A = this chain, B = another copy of it.
Amino acid sequence: MRDVAIIGVSQTKFGELWDSSFRDLIAEAGVKAVMDAEVEGDDIEAMYVGNMSSGLFVDQEHIAALISDHMGLNPIPTTRVEAACASGGLALRQGIMAVASGFHDVVISAGVEKMTDVVDATPAIATASDQEWEAQQGATFPSLYAMIAKRHMYEYGTTREQLAQFSVVNHKNAKNNPNAQFPFEISVDKVINSTMVADPLTLLDCSPVSDGAAAVVMVPAEDAKKYTDTPIYVRASAQASGTIALHNRKDLTTIDSTKVASRKAYEMAGVTTKDIDLAEVHDCFSINGLLAVEDLGFAEKGKGGIAIEEGQTEIDGDFPINPSGGLKARGHPLGATGIAQAAEVVWQLRGDAGKRQVDGAEIGMTHNIGGTGGTAAVHIFGRDLE
C-alpha cells in the first residue's frame, strides 16, 4: 500500500451559523481545502463525507450526491460515511484507504453538520446511543457521560475541579482560534456554577450544538511535494468498535475502542505516546476528554484528573491536548469534528497555528469517538514519513 499525505485543509467557523445552510457550509469548506491544496476541482477523483444525521437535522439523506452536484464534482464517486460523532474520523479513514490502495490519487474527505435548524437537537443526538436500551428509556448523552463521570470520581477520587479544568484549558486555547465557537476564557468557578445539566456535568462541561464543516485533500505521499513544500504525512489510521450501550461494559471508566484503536495506531506509526507532540481528543464532555488522556496512554488510569490539574495538557505542558479548543470550545458539529481535528493537527505540524502553536510539533494525533465509544478512530500524522 502507498503512504498518504495531506496537502490541503480547511475549516469553516464553527457556531450557530444562521446565515449558512448545510450546502453553504460544505461549499465553503470544500473550496477552501481545494485552494489550500492548490489543486483544481477537476483534479479531485473521489470524495468521502462524514455526517451523523442530516436526515434528522435537515431532512436530507443522500448528501454525498447532493454535495457532488452542488460543488460541480460529478461524476466522481462520492460517499457518505456515518458513525455518529466519529463520522468525520471514518470519512478521513476511507479517504486514506482510497489513496493508499491506489483506487484514487487525489481524494477529498470532508465532514459537515448543520444542527441548529431543529428546535431541539437532543433527540437526534440520542440516536447515537442504543435506542432500545438507552434513548427510549430517557437516557440522553449528558446523562450517559454523567454516569461515567460519577463512577470515575468514585473509583479514582477525580474531583469536580479537575473535570472543570479540562474545559478551562480548552477555552484558553480557543481564544487563539479564529474558527472557534467560543473564543474566550472561562474559570473553574464559572464551569462549576453554570447550569446543571446532568450531575456532576454542568453546561460548561458540555460541548455545544454547532454548525460547521471541514475538509482535507489527500494524495499519495510520493506525489505530495509536487503540490506543497509542507505536506503532512499520515502515519497511522486505526478504527475500532466497542459496546454501543453502557450497561454491557466491564468497566464504565474505560473506552475500550479508544484503547484498541490507539494501540493499533501507535504500532502502525512505530511511535509511543511519548512521541506525540499534541493530540486533538474527543471531549464531547469534560469527562470524555479526561478518559482520552488516560485511554490514549498519556496518563495512567485514574490519574487523568491530576494530569489536567497539573497543567500537563496545556499547550506548554508535557502532552498538549486540544490546542484548537477541542469540541468544548472550538465547537462540535458532529460529522465535521473528526476532519476539523485533522485540520488542526496539520496546521500545528506546518507551524501555522499562530498563538496556539505547540512549539516544534512534529507528530500529532487525532481521536474521534462515536456515541459513548461504540466507535473510535485514531490517526497519527507526522512532518516526516518515519
Spell out A's residues near B (CB within 8 Å): 1, 52-53, 55-56, 58-66, 68-69, 73-84, 90, 93-94, 97-98, 100-103, 123-124, 127-131, 135-136, 239-245, 248, 256-257, 260, 370-371, 374-375
Question: Which residue of the partner chain, among B1, B76, B371, contacts A240 with CB atoms under 8 Å?
Answer: B76
Residues of the B chain whose Cβ atoms lie less than 8 Å from the Cβ of A370: 62, 65
Main DSSP-derived SS at the A contact region: mixed
Residues of the B chain whose Cβ atoms lie less than 8 Å from the Cβ of A97: 97-98, 101, 103
A124 touches B241 (CB 8 A): no
A61 touches B84 (CB 8 A): yes
Chain B, residue nearest A131 (CB): B60
A375 touches B241 (CB 8 A): no
A-B contact pairs, 18 of them (CB 8 A): A1-B103, A52-B62, A56-B56, A60-B131, A61-B82, A62-B244, A62-B370, A64-B83, A66-B130, A69-B248, A74-B257, A75-B241, A75-B242, A76-B240, A77-B241, A79-B81, A100-B103, A101-B102
Query: What's the least CB distance linking A201 to chain B, in Å?
Result: 21
Residues of the B chain whose Cβ atoms lie less than 8 Å from the Cβ of A73: 241
Chain B, residue nearest A376 (CB): B75
Residues of the B chain whose Cβ atoms lie less than 8 Å from the Cβ of A74: 240-243, 256-257
Question: Which residue of the partner chain, among B62, B78, B128, B243, contacts A61 with CB atoms under 8 Å?
Answer: B128
B101 touches A55 (CB 8 A): no
Residues of the B chain whose Cβ atoms lie less than 8 Å from the Cβ of A248: 69
Among A73, A103, A256, A260, the one with the most B-chain Cβ atoms within 10 Å of its Cβ is A103
B75 touches A244 (CB 8 A): no
- Closest A-B pairs by Cβ, 6 of them: A65-B374, A101-B101, A77-B239, A62-B84, A68-B241, A75-B240
Chain B, residue nearest A80 (CB): B82
Question: Complex Cα distance A301/B241, Å?
Answer: 47
Residues of the B chain whose Cβ atoms lie less than 8 Å from the Cβ of A68: 241, 374
A102 touches B371 (CB 8 A): no
Residues of the B chain whose Cβ atoms lie less than 8 Å from the Cβ of A59: 123, 127, 131, 135-136
Question: Which residue of the partner chain, among B58, B69, B256, contacts A241 with CB atoms under 8 Å?
Answer: B69
